């Protein structure tokens, strides 16, 4: 029985082995590769080893991890947040003490006397050709004289009138001619010395101050043109074009008595500040340089703002206003407050035009106001 079955199956096996090989060739359009199985593959085909040598124990390269991070390291979608935004109390006023002061609202012209545009252009060209002086090292005797108010007045080329020293050092009487042109009278020594007074060197505040008394304005008027007269008080960083009033050009500030406005490097119309000077008014101008209470920001340090600066004005022995010396200036003030930040020596300056009479006091003994 088994013999008959073996003979019956033999022709089928023989038939499989006699199939034409061309049917298994890939060039045949009807070719389909046979499915590997134990019945169609030999022993050597069923157990072919992987290529390469077998991995060695302890060889890290034989256990290389798969490419890419494991599934647990894939970025996760953040959980949604349903919390409401924080409540803002609009009734609380924010602290703006650290913000820079807003710029002053300037005018294009003064309601009283105005210099010509030609003079302004000439002064601008003059300052462009004459850069600010570097700080000068005073002698101890010069510095002592400044502290005692022993300063002299220098007559500007455009000044026409008298400068008369009085018995007490630092006291001067001045009288201009009726047709005196714009002129700035400067002192012979700086009232602020960078080498001696800068808080960056001394670590102490420094206040500079002086006063003048108005005794007459508009003297000798004969025509309407001669009616224009005025006095200004301020400080300048040299060199300064003395045919201009203090506050009109680079490195200067001043309060003008004809229109009551303040000028800080402002060739135009200044900004509202006080009222016009009157006969018998005693007015004073001062500046206090102090170490900064708050370290300057990067922008401020780049702009040269290392000190806190207060500018103040007095009238008849009473403080009558002031401003922050670091305040932002109008865009028309080209150069900003350069020279007035404590980096240059500063000189007292009195501006005049027309017929005026006044007295100047540099000594603290003669001041109505005590700035210290």
pLDDT in tens, 195-208: 999 999 999 999 99
CA–CA dist 42, 27 (Å, integer)? 24
Both tokens of 35, joined, read: 């499915």
pLDDT average, residue stretch 264-284 = 92
pLDDT band at 71 (very low <50, low <70, confident <90, very high): low
* First-last CA distance in the chain: 137
In this predicted model, what pLDDT tens digit does every residue of 110-154 receive, in sequence order?
Answer: 656 667 889 989 999 999 999 999 999 999 999 999 999 999 999
Residue pair 359/173 in contact (Cβ under 8 Å)? The answer is yes
| CATH homologous superfamily for the domain 145-366 | SPRY domain (2.60.120.920)
CA–CA dist 160, 294 (Å, integer)? 47
User: Distance between alpha carbon 130 and the CA centroid of its chain, in Å?
Assistant: 24
In this predicted model, what pLDDT tens digit does every residue of 235-257 receive, in sequence order?
Answer: 999 999 999 999 999 999 999 99
What was the pLDDT predicted at 269?
A: 83
pLDDT band at 93 (very low <50, low <70, confident <90, very high): low
Residue found under tokens 């008080």: 233
Beta-bridge partners for 50: none
| Domain-wise residue ranges, the chain | 145-366
What was the pLDDT predicted at 262?
A: 95
Cα-flanking dihedrals φ and ψ of residue 167, to 5°? Answer: -60, -40
pLDDT band at 212 (very low <50, low <70, confident <90, very high): very high
In this predicted model, what pLDDT tens digit does every residue of 351-366 receive, in sequence order?
Answer: 999 999 999 999 999 9
Dihedral angle sign, alpha carbons of residues 225, 226, 228, 232: positive
pLDDT band at 303 (very low <50, low <70, confident <90, very high): low
> What is the number of other CB atoms lying within 10 angstroms of the CB of residue 89?
5
What was the pLDDT predicted at 13?
A: 47
- Smallest CA-to-CA distance from 236 within 351, 319, 326 is with 351
Strand-pair category, 261-264 with 282-290: unpaired
More confident residue, 250 or 333: 250
Distances (CA, A) of 1 to 8, 9, 185, 246, 371: 11, 13, 145, 137, 138
What was the pLDDT predicted at 47?
A: 60
pLDDT average, residue stretch 181-200 = 96
pLDDT band at 342 (very low <50, low <70, confident <90, very high): very high
What was the pLDDT predicted at 332?
A: 63
**What integer best gives the mean pLDDT of the chain?**
79
Does residue 231 register a pLDDT over 60?
A: yes
In this predicted model, what pLDDT tens digit does every residue of 17-66 receive, in sequence order?
Answer: 444 444 445 454 444 455 544 444 444 455 666 676 666 655 555 556 65
What was the pLDDT predicted at 80?
A: 47
């Amino acid at each position: 029985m088994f013999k008959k079955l073996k003979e019956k199956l033999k022709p089928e096996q023989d038939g499989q082995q006699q199939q034409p090989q061309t049917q298994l060739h890939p060039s045949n359009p009807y070719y389909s590769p046979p499915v590997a199985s134990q019945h169609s593959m030999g022993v050597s085909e069923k157990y072919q080893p992987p290529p390469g040598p077998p991995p060695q124990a302890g060889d890290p390269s034989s256990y290389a991890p798969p490419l890419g991070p494991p599934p647990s390291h894939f970025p996760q979608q953040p959980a949604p947040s349903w919390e409401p935004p924080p409540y803002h109390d609009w009734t609380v006023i924010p602290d703006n003490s650290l913000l820079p002061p807003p710029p002053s609202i300037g005018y294009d012209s003064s309601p009283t006397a105005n210099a010509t545009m030609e003079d302004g252009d000439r002064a601008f060209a003059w300052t462009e050709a004459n850069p600010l002086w570097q700080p000068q090292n005073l002698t101890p005797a010069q510095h002592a004289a400044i502290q005692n108010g022993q300063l002299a007045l220098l007559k500007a080329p455009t000044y026409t009138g008298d400068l008369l020293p009085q018995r007490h050092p630092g006291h001067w009487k001045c009288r201009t001619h009726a047709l005196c042109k714009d002129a700035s009278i400067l002192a012979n020594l700086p009232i602020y010395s960078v080498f001696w007074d800068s808080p960056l060197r001394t670590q102490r505040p420094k206040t500079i101050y002086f006063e003048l008394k108005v005794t007459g304005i508009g003297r000798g008027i004969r025509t309407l043109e001669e009616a224009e007269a005025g006095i200004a008080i301020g400080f300048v960083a040299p060199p300064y074009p003395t045919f201009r009033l203090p506050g009109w050009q680079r490195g200067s500030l001043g309060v003008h008595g004809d229109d009551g406005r303040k000028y800080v490097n402002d060739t135009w119309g200044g900004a509202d500040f006080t009222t016009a000077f009157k006969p018998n008014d005693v007015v004073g101008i001062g500046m206090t340089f102090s170490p900064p209470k708050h370290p300057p920001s990067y922008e401020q340090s780049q702009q040269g703002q290392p000190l806190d600066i207060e500018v103040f004005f007095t009238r008849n022995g009473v403080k009558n206003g002031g401003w922050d010396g670091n305040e932002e200036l109008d865009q028309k003030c080209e150069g900003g407050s350069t020279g007035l930040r404590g980096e240059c020596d500063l000189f007292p300056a009195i501006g005049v035009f027309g017929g005026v009479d006044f007295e100047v006091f540099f000594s603290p003994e003669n001041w109505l106001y005590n700035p210290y």
